[in-house]
Amino acid sequence: MSPANFVLYEEESKLLFDGLVRLRQDANARAVFLVDKNGQQIANAGDVSQFDITSLASLTAGNVAATDGLAKLIGEREFSVLFHEGEREHIHISIVAKRAILVVIFDDRSSLGLVRLRVKRANLELERIFEKMLQQSGSSAVAEERSQDSPFAEITDEDIDALFRD
C-alpha cells in the first residue's frame, strides 16, 4: 500500500481560516495555528510573522506524537490537551477531529481559563469542517470534479528534472 494524499481546497481552507481568526479574537491570543498530525501547517491566524511556522509545526507534531506514545503506555487513548507555561508566553495544544492539532499561543493579556473555554467552542466548529472535508474526499463525484484541474496528472519527467537542476 502506498501513502494517500491529504488535499486541502480553497473553500475549506477559507472556512478553517475564518474559524481560527474568530478563535484568536475571542481568546485574545497572539496567534493560532492548525497543524496536521504529520507536522505540516494547515492554516494560521494572528501575529504569525515572528514565528518560524515550519519549525513550529514540526515540533508540535513531534510533541503530540511523543505524548500520544506516553498515553498508550499508561493505557490512555490520548491526552487531549497539552499546556506549556512560559514566563511570558504560553502554548495551548489540543487535538481536532483526531487528525489535526490546534495550537494557541498567548501571553498575559489572556488566561488559560479563557483560552480553554474558547478552544472548546472552536473545536466543535473546526471538527464540522474536517468532517465535511473527509466526506468529500471519500466522495468520488467531488474528487472527480475537482481533480479536473489537478496539476499533477500531467507532470512530465522534464518538470521533475527541472526541480533538480541547480
Partner 1 sequence: MTFINYASKEINCKIVYYGPGLCGKTTNLQYIYNKTSPDARGKMISLATETDRTLFFDFLPLDLGTIRGFTTRFHLYTVPGQVFYDASRKLILKGVDGVVFVADSQEARAEANVESIRNLGANLAEHGLDLATMPYALQFNKRDLPSLVGVDEMYRVLNFKREPTFEAIATSGEGVFDTLKSVAKQILVELRKR
Give the closest residue to 16 by CA, choosing from 106, 135, 131, 139: 131
136 binds partner 1 per the rule CB under 8 A: no
Q: How many CA atoms lie within 13 A of 140 on its CB side?
A: 0
State which of residues 87, 88, 109, 160 lies at the interface with partner 1 (CB under 8 A): 160
Sheet holding 41-46, edge to edge: 41-46, 31-36, 100-106, 90-96, 81-85
Residue carrying C-alpha cell 473553500: 11
Residue with cell 528534472: 161
Question: In the 3-class helix/strand/coil scheme, how is 137-148 assigned residue by residue?
Answer: HHCHHHHHHHHC
Report in angstroms how near the CB of residue 68 gets to partner 1 at its nearest: 8
Q: Which stretch binds partner 1 (CB under 8 A): 1-9, 79-87, 89-97, 109-117?
A: 1-9
Exactly one of 65, 82, 97, 114 binds partner 1 (CB under 8 A); that residue is 65
27 versus 45: smaller Cβ distance to partner 1: 45
**According to the binding rule CB under 8 A, does residue 2 interact with partner 1?**
yes
Q: Work out which of 13, 28, 136, 137 binds partner 1, going by CB under 8 A.
A: 13
Contacting partner 1 within 14-43 (CB under 8 A) = 14, 36-40, 42
Residue 127 CA to residue 98 CA, distance in Å, equals 9
Question: CB-wise, 27 or 95, nearer to partner 1?
Answer: 95
Nearest to 12 by CA among 23, 20, 4, 1: 20
Candidate residues 25, 47, 66, 135; the one interacting with partner 1 per rule CB under 8 A = 66
What backbone torsions phi and psi does residue 56 show, to the nearest 5 degrees? -60, -45
For partner 1, the binding residues (CB under 8 A) are 1-10, 13-14, 36-40, 42, 52, 54-55, 58-59, 62, 65-66, 68-69, 151-155, 159-160, 162-164
